């Protein structure tokens, strides 16, 4: 059964009535352009075929009642909260994600109680943006209940909704993430990567069909998740902002290679800036190659991105480095960590004929090092968020 159909069925089971609708949003992989979004730079994500679906119906008492149902079929409910009482700090744990969305929508004139039932198949904790998929699907569900359909005339645009979701995450949940994940979940389309200029909001959908060229995009979920991830992310972001201040520019987007060479910066900050400057260049180069239909040639750029994230930005970890090293050793054209880092997933661009070999090499290396077995799956750019029923 599809994820949206499952959401509808669970809703019926839990609430003994039909949902008014079901909305869903995908997780994402970022092909390249890591830790550039909060520096006003460039990113190149695509949507995964995994989605979080929200089945929803209005409630007359003005409360938000959220239930998630895991793979084991066991529902987790939180006490319904009055939408009017939502404020940062009022809800903690996983429920802060959907509640924050209701809070930010209330601020934008959409205020109503709702029953939400959430199911999904985006692997959690894998750095594939399951929390953003959840928030984007929740936003569409609450807007839909208010009679606001996505892409209809007069409705908020997808980028506007992405900005609301970012605000909810930054201010309500309290995580200082950029715009990459929400925008990917809402704005990606199938068979394309999304080239987004975060500063200007300009977007271009670039066709990406790896199987047509005899290639596969292989995701390696390392299943590692290191506890210092949140503080690590915050520190990197603060470091970038500080460096931009020292360099007298609005954001590191405005720093080129020459300015970097001339700049006097403490070594720790210089490394951060070097990553951002070179990563933005790698995104632009990748885009050129994709536009020219030269997918195999992006391999070295992916690998350089990983090296830069590991050595300069220092957000990789043993498991991610091993995944990349083993994939390359078994013949991948390129490989890199994807997402925030400190665990999570890597991606590799692999000859279709070598997928099994690459998978086996990664799995064997993980076993040798005593890491948990990785989860591997080839994937294709899939559809963005929308209404399912």
The answer to whether 169 and 23 are in contact (CB under 8 A) is: no
**Strands in 135-268 per DSSP E:** 192-197, 203-207, 215-225
The answer to whether 362 and 376 are in contact (CB under 8 A) is: yes
Interface ranges with ligand GLA (CB under 6 A): 30, 34-35, 37-38, 177-178, 180-181, 339-340
Distance (Å, rounded) from C-alpha 160 to C-alpha 166?
10
What's the closest the beta carbon of residue 331 comes to ligand GLA, in angstroms? 27
Distance (Å, rounded) from C-alpha 210 to C-alpha 379?
9
Kindly tell me which of 10 and 181 has the beta carbon lying closer to ligand GLA: 181
Q: Is 231 helix (H, G, I), strand (E, B) or coil?
A: helix
What's the closest the beta carbon of residue 196 comes to ligand GLA, in angstroms? 11
What's the closest the beta carbon of residue 37 comes to ligand GLA, in angstroms? 5
Distance (Å, rounded) from C-alpha 342 to C-alpha 337?
9
Burial class (CB in 10 A: 0-12, 13-18, 19+), 109: exposed
What's the closest the beta carbon of residue 160 comes to ligand GLA, in angstroms? 17
The answer to whether 183 and 162 are in contact (CB under 8 A) is: yes
Residue reference for tokens 């091993």: 322
What's the closest the beta carbon of residue 180 comes to ligand GLA, in angstroms? 4
Kindly tell me which of 131 and 326 has the beta carbon lying closer to ligand GLA: 131
Residue reference for tokens 């951002």: 276
Q: Which helix (H) or strand (E) holds 291?
A: helix 267-291
Kindly tell me which of 30 and 138 has the beta carbon lying closer to ligand GLA: 30
The reply to whether 312 belongs to the active site is: no
Distance (Å, rounded) from C-alpha 250 to C-alpha 13?
52
Q: Which of 37, 181, 312, 388 is catalytic?
A: 181
What's the closest the beta carbon of residue 170 comes to ligand GLA, in angstroms? 10
Non-local CB neighbours of 115 within 8 Å, separated by 6+ positions: 11, 15, 19, 56, 57, 58, 59, 65, 67
Kindly tell me which of 31 and 102 has the beta carbon lying closer to ligand GLA: 31
Kindly tell me which of 40 and 181 has the beta carbon lying closer to ligand GLA: 181
Distances (CA, A) of 5 to 123, 276, 339: 18, 42, 29
Half-sphere exposure (CA, 13 Å, Cβ side) for 29? Answer: 28
Residue 278: closest CA among 113, 36, 63 = 36
Neighbours of 313 (CB within 10 A): 23
Kindly tell me which of 67 and 138 has the beta carbon lying closer to ligand GLA: 138
**Would you give the DSSP letter of residue 127?**
S
What's the closest the beta carbon of residue 148 comes to ligand GLA, in angstroms? 25
Distance (Å, rounded) from C-alpha 4 to C-alpha 200?
34
Catalytic annotation, residues: 181
């Amino acid at each position: 059964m599809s994820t949206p159909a499952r959401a509808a069925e669970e809703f019926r089971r839990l609430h003994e009535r039909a949902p008014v609708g079901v909305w869903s949003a995908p997780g994402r992989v970022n092909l390249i352009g890591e830790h550039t979004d909060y520096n006003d730079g460039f990113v190149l994500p695509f949507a995964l075929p995994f989605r979080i679906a929200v089945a929803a119906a209005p409630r007359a008492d003005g409360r938000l009642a959220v239930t998630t149902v895991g793979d084991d079929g066991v529902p987790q409910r939180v006490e319904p909260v009055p939408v009017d009482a939502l404020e940062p700090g009022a809800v903690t744990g996983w429920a802060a994600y959907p509640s924050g969305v209701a809070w930010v929508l209330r601020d934008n004139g959409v205020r109503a109680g709702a029953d939400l039932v959430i199911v999904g198949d985006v692997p959690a904790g894998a750095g594939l943006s399951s929390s953003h998929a959840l928030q984007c699907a929740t936003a569409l569900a609450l807007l839909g209940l208010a009679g606001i359909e996505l892409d209809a005339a007069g409705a908020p645009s997808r980028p506007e909704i992405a900005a609301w979701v970012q605000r909810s995450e930054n201010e309500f949940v309290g995580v200082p993430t950029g715009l990459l994940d929400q925008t990917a979940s809402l704005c990606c389309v199938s068979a394309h990567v999304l080239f987004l200029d975060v500063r200007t909001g300009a977007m271009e959908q670039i066709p990406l069909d790896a199987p047509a060229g005899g290639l596969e995009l292989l995701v390696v979920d390392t299943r590692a998740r290191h506890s210092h991830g949140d503080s690590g992310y915050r520190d990197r972001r603060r470091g970038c902002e500080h460096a931009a201040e020292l360099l007298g520019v609005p954001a590191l987007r405005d720093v080129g290679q020459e300015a970097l060479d001339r700049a006097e910066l403490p070594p720790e900050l210089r490394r951060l800036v070097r990553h951002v400057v070179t990563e933005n260049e790698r995104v632009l180069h990748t885009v050129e190659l994709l536009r020219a239909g030269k997918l195999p040639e992006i391999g070295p750029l992916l690998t350089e991105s990983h090296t830069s994230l590991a050595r300069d930005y220092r957000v990789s970890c043993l498991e991610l480095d091993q995944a990349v090293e083993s994939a390359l050793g078994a013949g991948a054209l390129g490989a890199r960590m994807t997402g925030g880092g400190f665990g999570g997933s890597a991606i590799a661009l692999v000859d279709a004929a070598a997928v099994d070999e690459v998978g086996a090499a990664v799995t064997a290396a993980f076993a040798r090092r005593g890491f948990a077995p990785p989860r591997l799956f080839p994937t294709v750019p899939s559809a963005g968020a929308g209404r399912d029923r």
